[in-house]
Amino acid sequence: MQEIERKFLVTSLAGISEAYAEAKIAQGYLNRNPERTVRVRIKNDKGYLTIKGKSDATGTTRFEWEKEIQLHEAEALLLLCEKGVIEKTRYAIQKGTHVFELDVFEGANKGLVVAEIELTTADENFEKPSWLGEEVTHDERYYNAYLSEKPFTEW
């Protein structure tokens, strides 16, 4: 139940043409406490409840628990969330043996495009696509919980 993830800015949308999957996502936070966040997500026609722990010093590793829930439950919980629902389209892109999730944000975070990769170990090597920009794993401003409270368009 540990997530090891690195996050990067995206320099171009060229990778979208390589995507093998696409999903519309709406997500909100029942709790944005830095020690633990509780997130409700609707991804296409499925609902999820996720609890994430505090990240380590590098921002790479943290506890994550996720459970699929009924869509109507997720819709009801989303109404209870703190202000600032995140809207984005996620594209899954295979590069070598890894999958990048490229998020194109909408609404109050329009203009932000971020790619994430989940790894087995924090120092694992992976193929970096040409559209991958600066690493922002350590920068809390790019965490979705932060973006829901302080949107990218207000920076």
Annotated catalytic sites, by residue?
29
**Placement of tokens 């600066």 in the chain:** 134
Residue 53: burial class (beta carbons within 10 Å; 0-12, 13-18, 19+): middle
Question: Taking a C-beta distance cutoff of 8 angstroms, is the pair 104, 87 a contact?
Answer: no
Going by the DSSP 8-state scheme, the letter that residue 32 receives in this structure is: -
Backbone angles phi and psi of 106, in degrees to 5: -125, -175
Rg of the Cα trace of the chain?
A: 15
Beta partners for 113? 104
Closest CA to 77 of 85, 65, 88: 85
SS3 102: strand
